[in-house]
Amino acid sequence: MLRDLKSGLALLILLVVASAGQAQSVIYSETFDAPLPAGWSVDGPVGTPGVQWAADATPATTSGMYGCGLADVALVGTVFAGAGCLNWNDGVAIAYGAATGTPFESSVTSPVISLTTLTGVTLSFTEMYEMDSCNDETAFHNRFVDFIDASTGSVVMTRQFANVDTAPASADTIAEGAGMHDHYIITFFLDLLPEFAAITAIDLQVRFRVQITGYLGDVGGLGIDAEEELTGWFIDNLTVTCPAADLAAPTVPTQLAPVGGPTVVSPVAFDWTDATDTGPCGPAAVTYVVEIDNLGTIPSPDLTLTPTPSSVTQALVPGAYSWRVRARDSAGNLSAFTAAELFTVEANLAPLAPDTLFVNTQNNGAQNGDGGFVSPVIDEQPVFSAIFRDANVAPDFAGQVRFQVSEDPTFTLIDYDSGTILLGAPLPDDARCPDLQILISLQRDTVYYWRCQFIDVGGLTGPFSGAQSFRIGDDFEFGVRRGSSHRS
């Protein structure tokens, strides 16, 4: 089936275009070269067919961008910059619903973009869409871009992309050009539009929305299922710019950890406060420069990192270090560096053997050292817990745990082995782990032994604990007749 990649790159420019040669600054930029970026959210009904919104390699159809009945007009590789794009359905042919039609919408929304003025600001992105065939230019599928006031959640303005080969008459519809095979630039002057007439500043969100209206039968006697026409919508290079140059540096961040000369283990978590930066049109995007110096070994900086969030984790060999951080805005302005903070990385040692082993401590009391088995466990599926101990001077954490249960105190034969269990949150040194649930039923009136071991967040495995004995109660102690499987 011929695929038609419609609308080569409509470049939608919103707000006011800066005059040629005028200095500009970037307020927000996203190239979608990674998985769906932080702050972006997807809203689609459960059971909606198709691949749905994602940020991945551009587009699924890579052979070329076709014009109906025409030769290739452009290679897909020239359409979008970078390794990925934001896309809906990834160019996959699907059926949207049963013969009666199942209308639905699916959308993806940007994080908040704060604008202190609209004058001269531009918002641009590239887009194209893909069709199953060239026969249907109807309204069974619709594409919209919405502009949302994040402070109220209300839609300030909506524009719909035309699904016809001729430019639409409505000013509220984006024409992608006659034949939809050429590249077009569409420009809006928002401060001249009624929707933005009373707005001087806004916390803006951009939403891309696909609407499928359902199957309506054969279109024009051509034997086409209209519901199956739209196979993908591709969007890239979303950029918000300001017409004035940003000359102000961000604020200096404050280091949070490690500070005060602590001893830590690798990998080391570096953390600092968010810097702020106010450009001429609103807050600008901020990244960071982190310098780490291995004292007395390599001239500073030994390592330079450029994270976007205000934290980063880095593996380091044992030794003495210093570190500092500065902020950088999207215009390239740099804050001053923070003062250097010292810290020491010690060799990461494996956890010690766990201790203070409990069985059903919440239900039956601690089964700790009950050598006479006076206090039986009245539960065929008890829970187990122990305290994590670590050999490092620096704080360390357990990330996984494993436990075994056996009737044999030497564990030559094992009744149950949990395998490694991922802890819900890293467990600090000297803390008790959450209750560990056994997934088999143990025999009544039977003595068992159990042991456990921890694996720290660096992947080092500690030894097993000593074996702890416990006894599952008999039928009398369970309070039922001998031989009955009924539990009170």
Tens of pLDDT, residues 238-296: 888 888 888 889 999 999 999 999 999 888 989 999 998 888 888 877 889 999 988 75
Distance (Å, whole) CA 224 – CA 2: 13
Q: Examine residue 250 and state whether it is found in any structural domain, yes or no.
A: no
Residues 102 and 188 in one domain: yes
Residue 48 lies in a domain: yes
Name the CA dihedral angle for 395, 401, 407, 410, rounded to a multiple of 10 degrees.
-50
pLDDT of residue 362: 52
Name the domain boundary from 279, 312, 346.
Answer: 346
Q: Which tokens go with 237?
A: 């290079």
Residue 299 located in a structural domain: yes
Residue pointed to by tokens 């950029």: 239
- Residue 483 in any domain: the answer is no
Give the number of domains in the chain.
Answer: 3
Between residues 295 and 67, the one the model is more confident about:
295
Residue 274 and residue 237 share a domain: no
What 3-state DSSP class applies to 178? helix
User: Does residue 486 form part of some domain?
Assistant: no
C-alpha to C-alpha distance for 388 and 475, rounded to whole angstroms:
35
- Look at residues 346, 368, 397 and tell me which one is the last residue of a structural domain: 346
Residue 319 host element (H or E)? strand 319-329
pLDDT digits (tens, 9 = 90+) for 283-317: 877 889 999 988 754 455 667 777 777 888 888 88
At residue 178, the pLDDT reads 37
Model pLDDT for residues 400-438, shown as the tens digit of each residue: 999 999 999 999 999 999 999 999 899 999 999 999 999
Could you tell me if 39 and 130 lie in one domain? yes
Q: What CATH number does the domain containing 282 carry?
A: 2.60.40.10
- 216-246 in b/e form (b: 16+ CB < 10 A) is eeebeeeebbbbbbbbbbbbbbbbbbbbbeb
Structural domain range at position 281: 255-346
- Quick check: is 247 in a domain? no
CA atoms of 412 and 458, how far apart (whole Å): 29
